[in-house]
């Protein structure tokens, strides 16, 4: 599934509150009561411009499905994530957390998670992203991860740009080949297509295993 994250703005205030106040989000939250809009608005206004506060909206095909927040609390940067109930169990949370880690790693060295010990899904999520348990208190599990300063996303984007240029170069070669040796080029292209078809057939067999 392809997802996108973007920094939250005032336009997202109502949506963030909706996700936060849904029953499944409050079930394992420290504060289980529904938050009033005015209280939520004040919180957002006080925090969204701070340099140690990061809030991102998760979207799938331009539809908002959740949010990720990274906020400094007592000198530690805690991450929390919430996804709309109908969009859970699709791997969205894991992808979103990976993207957010890449976004904030230039500012943050260590990232923490405070998880309810009965929230098995969240524990599994953070463990799957290499968060380590460093403390347990009653019904809380505290987890930590050291962020890698190497930006994989930017590297992938660079590779993608180079590949686009190279694809254009290959098309240029193909044009020259057809211009000066059309018959030989056509035969070679037919052979390439045949071998590609064989690869596709083998790939289908692998996917059935």
- C-alpha dihedral, 173 to 179 to 192 to 187, nearest 10°: -160
Residue 34 in contact with residue 48, Cβ under 8 Å? no
Do 79 and 160 reside in the same domain of the chain? no
CATH label of the domain that carries residue 77: 3.40.630.30
Distance CA 89, CA 121 (A): 9
Q: Does 73 share its domain with 161?
A: no
**Phi, psi dihedral angles at 138 (to 5 degrees):** 50, -105
When mean pLDDT is compared across 37-46, 71-80, 134-143, 160-169, the lowest value belongs to 160-169
- Which DSSP symbol is given to 62? T
108 and 32 share one domain? yes
pLDDT digits (tens, 9 = 90+) for 72-89: 988 899 999 999 999 998
The answer on 65 and 46 residing in a single domain is yes
- Are 186 and 101 part of one and the same domain? no
Give the total number of structural domains in the chain.
Answer: 2
pLDDT at 207 over 80: no
Its domain, for residue 65, covers: 4-150
- The tens digit of pLDDT for each residue in 7-66 reads 999 999 999 999 999 987 878 787 788 899 999 999 999 998 888 899 999 999 999 999
Instruction: Note whether 193 and 177 are same-domain residues.
Output: yes
- Among 126-130, 145-149, 152-156, 172-176, name the one with the lowest average pLDDT: 152-156
Say yes or no: 164 and 185 in one domain. yes
Counting residues of the chain whose pLDDT is more than 90, the rounded percentage is: 46
Q: Give yes or no for a contact between 85 and 22, defined as CB atoms under 8 angstroms apart.
A: yes
Taken as a whole, the chain contains a residue count of 209
pLDDT of residue 74: 86
């Amino acid at each position: 599934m392809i997802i996108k994250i973007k920094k939250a703005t005032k336009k997202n205030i109502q949506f963030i509150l909706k996700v936060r106040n849904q029953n499944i989000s409050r079930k394992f939250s420290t504060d289980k009561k529904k938050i009033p809009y005015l209280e939520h608005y004040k919180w957002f206004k006080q925090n969204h411009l701070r340099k140690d506060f990061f809030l991102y909206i998760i979207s799938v095909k331009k539809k908002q499905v959740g949010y990720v927040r990274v906020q400094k609390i007592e000198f530690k940067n805690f991450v929390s994530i919430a996804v709309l109930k109908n969009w859970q169990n699709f791997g969205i949370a894991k992808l979103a957390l990976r993207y957010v880690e890449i976004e904030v790693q230039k500012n943050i060295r260590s990232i923490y998670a405070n998880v309810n010990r009965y929230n098995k899904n969240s524990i599994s999520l953070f463990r799957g992203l290499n968060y380590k348990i460093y403390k347990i208190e009653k019904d809380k599990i505290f987890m930590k991860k050291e962020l890698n300063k190497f930006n994989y996303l930017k590297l992938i984007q660079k590779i993608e740009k180079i590949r686009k240029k190279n694809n254009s170069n290959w098309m240029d070669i193909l044009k020259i080949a057809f211009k000066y040796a059309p018959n030989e080029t056509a035969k070679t292209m037919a052979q390439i297509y045949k071998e590609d078809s064989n690869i596709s057939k083998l790939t289908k067999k692998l996917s059935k295993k």
